[in-house]
Structure 1
Amino acid sequence: MFTVDALGPSGPYRARKQLVITDVTGGEVASVSLVPRLFVTRTMSALHKASAMPLADRRRALTIAGSLFAEDSADYVELVTRVSGLPRADIQFAAETVAQACGSAYEAACQGRPVGACESVVDEGGVWTRRGSVFAVHAAGNHPAVHSLWLQALALGYRVAVRPSRREPFTPYRLISALRTAGFGDDQVVLLPCEHDVADEILRSADLGMVYGGDEVIAKYGSNPRVLPQGPGRSKVLVTDDWEPALDVIVSSIAHHGGVGCINATGVLIEGDPAPLATALAARLSALPDSVLPRYPLAGALALRDHLAKRATGTQPLLGADQLVTDLGDGSAVIRPALHLLPSADAPQLGAELPFPCAWVAPWNRADIAPLRNTLVLTAITRDEELIADLLDEPTIANLYVGNRPTHYFHPQLPHDSYLSDFLMRTKAVARTPGESRSGTHRM
C-alpha cells in the first residue's frame, strides 16, 4: 500500500498509529501516520522559531515545486480518482490547477494588497506586513484543488502547517514533498495528519488558521478572529431573462467537477414560472454519463439517498432519490444528479448543499433579496442594472457573476471568499525621520 508519513520539522515521521485509507470499492490502498499531540506541539514550536525565507527564494521554490508536482503524475491521479470517486478528468484538472497555483501564488496573494501600501519600508507611507508567522490549515477532502489557496500564505512568508483530510491526504502529501524538494525547509511547511481530538492543537498553536467544513465548523469557529472558516457555499443561479440561452451555464454550474464543490450551484431561482426551466434541466442532467459523476462506496451512496429523500419532503421531485444510486456491482455506486421543484424561494431546502449534483429550483420575486443571501457565488442571468447593483451591494453575497459565467468560474487573480491576504496581512504606517539609517529595512 501507499504510505503517507507525517512531514515534520525534522523530515518524514512514521507514527505508530496508522489510518487505513480505502477506495470507493472498499479496497485498502494506503496507510496514513496519525501523529500524537506532543508531536504537533513540538512541530508548531519549531515553525514559530524558524525565520521566513527571503521572498526571491520563496518565489523560485514555488515555481520549481509546481513543475515537480505536475510531472509523472499519472499514478497520483489514478490513486486520488480511486479514493475520491471524482472523475479522472477532474483530478487531472485539479493537479494542473495546483501546479499552476504554485507559480502564481505570490502574484495571486498580492491582488489583495491595498493600492496605498508598499512591500518594503519607505520614508513615509503604508507597508504591507504579515499579521503573524505561522498559518494552520484544516484541509477539505472534497476536491484536490482546495490546496491551491494556502500556497498564498507560504508565498507571503508564513510557515504553514496542514492537517490533511482523512478522506484524501495524497494531494497535500505530494504538494508538501514537492515544496521541500524545491527548496522550502522542513521547518517552513509541514503535514500533520492526526485524530480530531488533536487537530485543535494545530489551530491553537498557530497565529492564524483556516478551517473547511459544514455548518458545525461555522458555529465552532465563526466568532474566532484568528480562524477563517470555509463553510458551505450555497451557490446559486438567478434568472430574470430568457433561460434557454443560459441552459448550458446552469447545467455546468450544477454538475461541473462532479457537483461536489462549494462553488457548484445548489439553488436555481427564476422570475416567473419555474416549471419549464426545471423540466429542461432535468432532461439535461439525466442525460449526463456516469463518467462525469461522482462515485461513492455503496453504503455511503445509499445513506445519501435516504438523506435526500428525507430532506426533499414537501418538494416536487423531477430527479428524486429513487433514481439517485446506480450500483456498479463492485462495492461502489455512481450518484446521479438530483433536481427538485420548490413551492417558494423561502423553502428550507434551498439551503441544502449535498456532495453531488443536487439543485433546488424555485420561483423568485425581485422584491425579495432574502433567498439570495448567504451565497458564496451568485450567477445572475439578467440585464437589469438596478438589480445587479442591489446584488453587488448585498454583503452576504460573496461573489457575483453576471451573464455567461457559471458559478464554478475561477482564476487565481479572482478572490474566492474575499482575498486570503485580507485575512493574512495588515498595513502598518511607517514614517522615517529624514537622514535616518535604513539598516532595519523590512523585507516581505
Structure 2
Amino acid sequence: MDTSDASVLLHYGGVSRTSLDRNPIRTIDGEAVGWLHEAPPLLVDVAIAALREVDDLPPDALLEGVAEASRLFGCDDLDGVSPDRYCAMLSAVSGAPVHIGELTLATVGSYGGALPLALRHQRPAEVGTVMHRGGVTAEMRWVPRGRVLTVIAPSNHPATYTLTMFVLACGYRVALRPGTADPYTGRRLVSAMTDAGLGDRIALLPTGHGSVDHLVRSADLALCFGGPQVVRRYARDPRVSVHGPGRSKVVTGTRVTADTLDYLEDAVAEGGGLRCMNISAVYTPDDPATVADALAHRLSRLPVLHPTDQNAVLPGVSMAEASAIDTAIRRYGPSVRDHSAPLYDDRTIEQVGPGSAVLRPRVLSVSTPTHPLVGTEHRFPFVVVAPWPAEAPVRVRMRLLCDTLVAVLLDDDEELSRAALADTSIRKVVVGPTAPWWTSPSLPHEGLLTQFLFDGKTLLTRPRAA
C-alpha cells in the first residue's frame, strides 16, 4: 500500500499537525503503512482549550455546514483521499469487509439531509412554550449541558460516526479520539468538516489507552464506546454516555421454519457481524441443537476471502488475534456444543493473507438459557442458541432478555412484548422479522441523545414597573 496518504495527523485549531508521539499503522497482515500521530495529555489540554474558544454559530448556519460536511464525506476526495481509497484503507487496517466502507460513505453521506427532521423529533415539543400569568412571562428553554464533548469512537462499525455529526449539529465542539483499529473514518470526518468551513469545531486526537481518561475528563461531556471495561469505568458518571456491547438477542416462535432461519442468518452475519445490533444469542422453544445445526449449515456457505476483496463478507483479523478468539471460544469445553467446527473439519480459522485470517462463522448451542456464554460477542458472525422457557412466568423470561441493546421477538407473545418495552435495560424492541439495525436519524439509539446533551430550564420574566 502507498504510504503517502495512510498517516493520520492530529487536528485542532482548524489545522492538521504532526506529533513526536507516534505509532505505526499496520494492516491486519502486519504491514506498516503509515504513522498514527498521538496527542499526549498536555496537547489534549491545548486542543480542548482551543475548542472552548470557538464562537457560537447561528443554528441554521451550523446545520448547513454539517450537512455540507456530510455530503463531502460521502462523495468527495478529502485531503487527496478518494472515497474508493478510503474504503480500501479502512478494510486493510481494520479488517472490515470493503463493502462496510462503501456503506459508511452512503450512511454518513446522506445523514446531513436527515438532520433537520432528526433534531426536530428529538426536541421536546414543549421547548419554546410561552405562558403569561399575573404579569409573568414563563418560557421553557433547552440549554446545552456543556460546550465541549469528547467522543471515544469504536472500531467495530464506522457508521456510528453519525452520532458525532448529530452532536456537532447541536452546537457542541467535539474532541474525537478515533477507533484504534479504524483511524481513517475519523480523519475523513474531520477533513469533511474542515472543507465545509467548520474545521475549528472538531479536534482529531488519537491517544494511547492510558490517555483516554484524561481526554474524557477534560471535556464537559463524553460519548464512550467500548467493551465491558469501559462500561464499568464510566457507567455511574452522569457526564458520560456509555455505549458498550450490544448483546442483542432473538426469541423465536415455537416452530422454527425456513423463513425463520433466513431471518436469523441475516441478523447474525449481515455486515460481517460487526454491528452491536447483530444478533449474538438465539432463544428458542424448539430444540436448540436442531436450530443450531440448520443455522450453522447456512452460515458455513459464506465465502472466505481477504476483507479487501470486493466479494468479501467476513471480517479479517491478525493471525494472533484469530487464535486468541478461537481459544477463548473453545475453553468452555463439553458444556457447549459447536455446530460449525465439524462443517469445516475443525478448521475454524482460515489464513487469507501473509499475517491475517478469517474466523469462520460459529454457531454454538447450550443446554441451559443461563449459560455464561449466552450474550458473548465477537467481531465476526458468532451466535449461541439456547433453550427458551416459553411456559415460565414472564418475569423469569425477562431476566434472560434484560441488559441488551436489541430484543427481537418472533413469537406472538403480547405479554412479553409489553414487558420488554417497559424494561429500561432493553434499548430497542423489535416485534416480528425486521432487521435489528433498522433505524432512522429521528429514532432513539440507546435513548434520545438530546436528553444527554441538553437540560430543560424555566425562564420567568416580569417587566419592570415604569
- Asked if TM exceeds 0.5, the reply is yes
**Is there any run of 5+ residues in structure 1 with no aligned partner, and where?**
437-444
Change (3 A) 1:147 1:45: same
Query: Per-residue CA shift, 1:21-61, capped at 9, x if unaligned?
Result: 11121111221111221111011112222222211111111
Q: Which amino acid aligns with 1:78?
A: A
Q: Does residue 386 in structure 1 map to residue 436 in structure 2?
A: no
In 1, the alpha carbon distance for the partners of 2:65 and 2:116 equals: 12
**What is the CA distance between 1:129 and its match in structure 2?**
1.8
- 1:407 corresponds to which residue? 436
- Partner letter of residue 320 of structure 2? A
Task: Determine helix, strand or coil for the equivalent of 2:28.
Answer: coil
Residues in 2 aligned to 1:111 and 1:435: alpha-carbon distance in whole angstroms = 37
Q: Which residue of 1 aligns with 2:126?
A: 116
| Equivalent residue number for residue 288 of structure 1 | 302
For residue 93 of structure 1, what is the aligned residue in structure 2? Answer: 103
2-structure distance, mates of 1:405, 1:426: 34
So what's the TM-score if we normalise by structure 1?
A: 0.93
Distance 2:170 2:129 in 1: 11
Equivalent positions of 1:312-351 (< 5 A) are 313-320=334-341, 322-351=346-375
RMSD: 2.0
User: Which of the numbers 45, 48, 59 marks the counterpart of 2:49?
Assistant: 45
Contact 2:7 2:25 in 1 (8 A): no
The structure 1 residue matched to 2:447, chosen from 399, 418, 429, is: 418
- Structure 1: which amino acid aligns with 2:421? L
User: Partner of 1:440 in structure 2?
Assistant: none
Q: Deviations over 1:322-346 (max 9, x none)?
A: 3321112522111111111111111
Task: Name the % identity.
Answer: 33
For residue 30 of structure 1, what is the amino acid of its counterpart? Answer: G
How many residues in Structure 1 have an aligned counterpart in Structure 2? Answer: 435
What is the CA deviation profile of residues 224-269 of structure 1, one whole-angstrom value per residue up to 9, with x for unaligned ones? 1101111111001111243312222211111111112211111000
CA distance in 2, matches of 1:30, 1:270: 48
Among residues 204, 211, 219, which one is paired with 2:224 in the alignment? Answer: 211
Alignment check: 8 A CA contact 2:297 2:340 kept: no
Please tell me whether the aligned partners of residues 361 and 380 of structure 2 are also in contact (alpha carbons under 8 angstroms). yes
Please name the residue that 1:441 is paired with. Answer: none
CA deviation profile, 1:56-76 (whole Å, cap 9, x unmatched)? 111111121112111240111
| Paired residues for 1:26-425 under 5 Å | 26-71=30-75, 72-118=82-128, 123-186=137-200, 188-244=201-257, 245-290=259-304, 291-311=312-332, 313-320=334-341, 322-366=346-390, 367=393, 368-425=397-454
Is the 8 Å Cα contact of residues 256 and 286 (structure 2) preserved in structure 1? Answer: no
Instruction: Give the counterpart letter for 1:149 in structure 2.
Output: L
Residue 46 of structure 1: SS of its match in structure 2? helix
Specify every segment of 5 or more residues in structure 2 that has no aligned partner in the other structure, as ranges.
Answer: 76-81, 305-311
Alpha-carbon contact 1:111-1:413 (below 8 Å) kept? yes
Task: Give, in angstroms, the shift of residue 136 of structure 1.
Answer: 0.5
Offset from partner CA, 1:102-132 (integer Å, 9 cap, x none): 3333532443222222399995332222111
* Residue pair 2:122, 2:442 contacting (<8 A) in 1 also: no
For 1:340 and 1:180, locate their aligned partners in 2 and report how far apart those are by CA, in whole Å. Answer: 47
Change (3 A) 1:30 1:120: farther
